[in-house]
A and B are shown apart, each in its own frame.
Chain A
């Protein structure tokens, strides 16, 4: 009897995945099926690859992603090692500095690199690679440092007493212990760089287009929906394979470590210089952004800010920034209200039941494996005709943002949910708490860190989202990233400085939201 009731409970928890599944169905599965079946002209499946812009985009996507990933992993691994094993002045600040960029708005960061780099490098592979490093180092730090943080100092000592030189210790102990995490970080970084869109919109140019840019160009500028769709599906398959490798490596991670406080070893001169350089790398672009927002070709001026704030009118600039801020804030709040409960409920349903539910969990994480641009395109095509007139609803964009944030909410919630011991639930039950009381009084307080991290993620994701939004946006409800991109597409000093001002405001507000919420959860 008791066994039967327990069975019932486990089954009912499973249903918590339904809202997330609906979200993913509406925003990804149905649109992708429609995309794959409705608009493809069979001839394009083969002929598209002969077109030179497509080939160039493929080659460029691949090689800039390889270059960006290799540099990111190299610098990220060194930074992670010192951050997870050494104590030094400013370490905490540095961790914040390194981990925040990942959630910053891509177009705004692109603008920051325009501001900091000399004009000759504005539209160059180097600029793109640097911006990708800026973004993705945080992936390495976030994934690898928990692993390395938990290596007992004495384990390294024992390697040394067995005759391992520092280099051998790295090769045979430290790297193998971080291997799975580094592999995960590599796959995710590669995916992020390969499908880079916002950054390339700002920093790319002739010959510097990724597949995502080419998809957008075909679909929106050339009206070649069939060609765009073939590209989108081919890219999706490639990413699905990368993603599969990624999730496989995650499941074999070693977890049998003793947690331990950070040791008090001091940094020597070389790593100190490394961190100084890295700190400059993360802060100088933002300072340059501020300077660039105040600088026209030959003098200092507040015109950019005046246009941004709507105090001054400028011909050719027809947006209302306050309205854009309102739109962005509204979308971010709605997206979080959807993504957070849906994501945490789904995490509950999927945690601790890996084997039978792994397929289902892959399915909820699906949007992570599909570039937002493809989602945008698919939704544009699917919901544009009756009976689904979802396209004209203003709710569409925040719902899509929620779907994009969902995997991140779940990723941050999973360790917390799985960290709640089952015995604790049982203890609450034996003390007379029913399922709801137990949830409210025991589990909810313990879930707090997951809720705040998830909230920070979903707010930031929505505020900065550009890929899908660029397809779905409407004139009267443009978000800040859309406006920034359009400003950088215009010629002249005023649009540029206005774009810089908007980028700075967007970066600072996103960073503050993330730091405030994420910090609070740790104190």
Chain B
């Protein structure tokens, strides 16, 4: 399940965010893109997920060009910076969401769901409302939820931002362990090199474009 990013460009109006970016993520590995904020990291992930359309270039997953495939059919999971858990669903149902969308058979889905909750260490919180979770717990739920439908590729957008130091390190190691255990092909973007070193197998550096934009304005 390898990912090839071929010569991707993107701009908002006349502001160029990405210019001819190319990158390859071999199957079963975790790669990191490290760059300062405002360099278009999130934009890159959103393009890969199909949430944004690039102005040029192509995304190839397993030899198949994705430009005409809508987001929900790409089988690309994503862990968002602020998790984006569904507030109307409990922990269990959040993790089940993708399996329900794929109409996975009920017993298989339930098994998969409890396996993942076990993997991220949240079995006890299955019936809890997601609005009561701590930052670290929310991140684990977001990870389990993204992994549940067995995506061909997992995207992680600054997964450890905003967590306190101790939790940050622990979760970084957990992430590395979980991604390995599930042998998921993953692409991580972060501004922190130490974090990338813990989680990923190889690291790419991305330079900020001259006229950089703030993360907030990208949306």
Within 8 Å of chain A (Cβ to Cβ): is B199? Answer: no
Contact B86 A161 (CB under 8 A): no
The verdict on A161 contacting B76 (CB below 8 Å), with A254-B88, A256-B87, A256-B131 known, is yes
> Which of B95-103, B160-168, B183-191 lies on the face that meets chain A?
B95-103
Q: Which residues of B contact A168 (CB under 8 A)?
A: 72, 101
A 138-168 contacts with B by CB, 8 A: 152-155, 157-166, 168
Within 8 Å of chain A (Cβ to Cβ): is B54? Answer: no
Contact A162 B88 (CB under 8 A): no
Contact B84 A162 (CB under 8 A): no
Q: Which residues of A contact B76 (CB under 8 A)?
A: 161
Contact A164 B84 (CB under 8 A): no
Assembled-state Cα–Cα distance A403/B101 (Å): 50
User: How distant is B104 from chain A, measured CB to nearest CB, in Å?
Assistant: 10
Contact A177 B101 (CB under 8 A): no
Contact A176 B88 (CB under 8 A): yes
Q: 1/0 per residue B115-152: CB within 8 Å of A?
A: 00000000000000001000000000000011011000
- A166 closest partner in B (C-beta): B72
Assembled-state Cα–Cα distance A487/B102 (Å): 62
Contact A162 B87 (CB under 8 A): no
Within 8 Å of chain B (Cβ to Cβ): is A172? Answer: yes
Assembled-state Cα–Cα distance A363/B86 (Å): 35
Within 8 Å of chain B (Cβ to Cβ): is A257? Answer: yes
- A158 closest partner in B (C-beta): B84
User: How distant is A327 from chain B, measured CB to nearest CB, in Å?
Assistant: 50
Assembled-state Cα–Cα distance A163/B80 (Å): 15
Assembled-state Cα–Cα distance A163/B146 (Å): 10
Interface range on chain B (Cβ under 8 Å from partner) = 20 to 34
Within 8 Å of chain B (Cβ to Cβ): is A173? Answer: yes
Within 8 Å of chain A (Cβ to Cβ): is B51? Answer: yes
User: How distant is B47 from chain A, measured CB to nearest CB, in Å?
Assistant: 12
Q: Which residues of B contact A179 (CB under 8 A)?
A: 88
Contact A161 B78 (CB under 8 A): yes
Contact B88 A163 (CB under 8 A): no
The verdict on A172 contacting B87 (CB below 8 Å), with A154-B80, A157-B80 known, is no
Contact A153 B219 (CB under 8 A): yes
Contact B71 A160 (CB under 8 A): yes
Within 8 Å of chain A (Cβ to Cβ): is B77? Answer: yes
Q: Which residues of A contact B155 (CB under 8 A)?
A: 161
Which of the residues B46, B100, B146 comes within 8 Å of A172, measured between beta carbons?
B100
Interface range on chain A (Cβ under 8 Å from partner) = 20 to 34
Assembled-state Cα–Cα distance A78/B81 (Å): 30
Q: Which residues of A contact B70 (CB under 8 A)?
A: 160, 165
Contact A155 B84 (CB under 8 A): yes
Contact A162 B80 (CB under 8 A): no
Which of the residues A153, A154, A163, A257 comes within 8 Å of B72, measured between beta carbons?
A163
Assembled-state Cα–Cα distance A2/B22 (Å): 67
Within 8 Å of chain A (Cβ to Cβ): is B75? Answer: yes
Q: Which residues of A contact B82 (CB under 8 A)?
A: 154
Contact B77 A254 (CB under 8 A): no
Which of the residues A153, A161, A165, A257 comes within 8 Å of B87, measured between beta carbons?
A257
Which of the residues B46, B97, B219 comes within 8 Å of A162, measured between beta carbons?
B97
Assembled-state Cα–Cα distance A168/B145 (Å): 17
- A165 closest partner in B (C-beta): B72
Point out which of A152, A154, A162, A254 has the most chain B C-beta atoms below 10 A from its C-beta. Answer: A162
The verdict on A163 contacting B49 (CB below 8 Å), with A256-B131, A257-B87 known, is no
Assembled-state Cα–Cα distance A418/B56 (Å): 50
Contact A163 B101 (CB under 8 A): yes
Q: Which residues of B contact A257 (CB under 8 A)?
A: 87
Contact A254 B87 (CB under 8 A): yes
Assembled-state Cα–Cα distance A179/B70 (Å): 27
Contact B149 A173 (CB under 8 A): no
Contact B101 A162 (CB under 8 A): yes
- A168 closest partner in B (C-beta): B101
Q: Which residues of B contact A254 (CB under 8 A)?
A: 87-88
Contact A155 B86 (CB under 8 A): yes
Contact A162 B149 (CB under 8 A): yes
User: How distant is B215 from chain A, measured CB to nearest CB, in Å?
Assistant: 12
User: How distant is A353 from chain B, measured CB to nearest CB, in Å?
Assistant: 23
The verdict on A152 contacting B84 (CB below 8 Å), with A162-B146, A172-B100 known, is yes
Q: Which residues of B contact A163 (CB under 8 A)?
A: 72-73, 75, 98, 101-102, 149
The verdict on A160 contacting B51 (CB below 8 Å), with A154-B80, A154-B82, A168-B101 known, is yes
Contact B49 A161 (CB under 8 A): yes
Assembled-state Cα–Cα distance A160/B84 (Å): 12
Q: Which residues of A contact B100 (CB under 8 A)?
A: 172
Assembled-state Cα–Cα distance A265/B83 (Å): 23
Q: Which residues of B contact A165 (CB under 8 A)?
A: 70, 72, 101
Q: Which residues of B contact A154 (CB under 8 A)?
A: 80, 82, 84, 219
Contact B84 A157 (CB under 8 A): yes
Q: Which residues of A contact B97 (CB under 8 A)?
A: 159, 162, 164, 172
Q: Which residues of A contact B102 (CB under 8 A)?
A: 163
The verdict on A162 contacting B51 (CB below 8 Å), with A152-B84, A157-B80 known, is no
Which of the residues B88, B131, B146, B219 comes within 8 Å of A161, measured between beta carbons?
B146
- B45 closest partner in A (C-beta): A161
Assembled-state Cα–Cα distance A168/B98 (Å): 11
- A257 closest partner in B (C-beta): B87
Assembled-state Cα–Cα distance A256/B146 (Å): 22
Q: Which residues of A contact B77 (CB under 8 A)?
A: 161-162
User: How distant is A517 from chain B, measured CB to nearest CB, in Å?
Assistant: 35
Assembled-state Cα–Cα distance A164/B89 (Å): 15
- B77 closest partner in A (C-beta): A161
- B51 closest partner in A (C-beta): A157
User: How distant is A221 from chain B, measured CB to nearest CB, in Å?
Assistant: 51
- A162 closest partner in B (C-beta): B98
Contact B87 A177 (CB under 8 A): yes
Q: Which residues of B contact A158 (CB under 8 A)?
A: 78, 80, 84
- B98 closest partner in A (C-beta): A162
User: How distant is A438 from chain B, measured CB to nearest CB, in Å?
Assistant: 33
A-B contact pairs, 25 of them (CB 8 A): A154-B219, A157-B51, A157-B78, A157-B80, A158-B84, A159-B86, A159-B101, A160-B50, A160-B71, A161-B74, A161-B76, A162-B77, A162-B98, A162-B145, A163-B73, A163-B98, A163-B101, A163-B102, A165-B70, A165-B72, A165-B101, A168-B72, A172-B97, A177-B87, A256-B87
Give the 7 A-B CB pairs with smallest separation, nearest first: A162-B98, A158-B84, A160-B71, A161-B78, A163-B101, A164-B101, A176-B88
Chain A positions near chain B (C-beta within 8 angstroms): 152-155, 157-166, 168, 172-173, 176-177, 179, 254, 256-257, 263
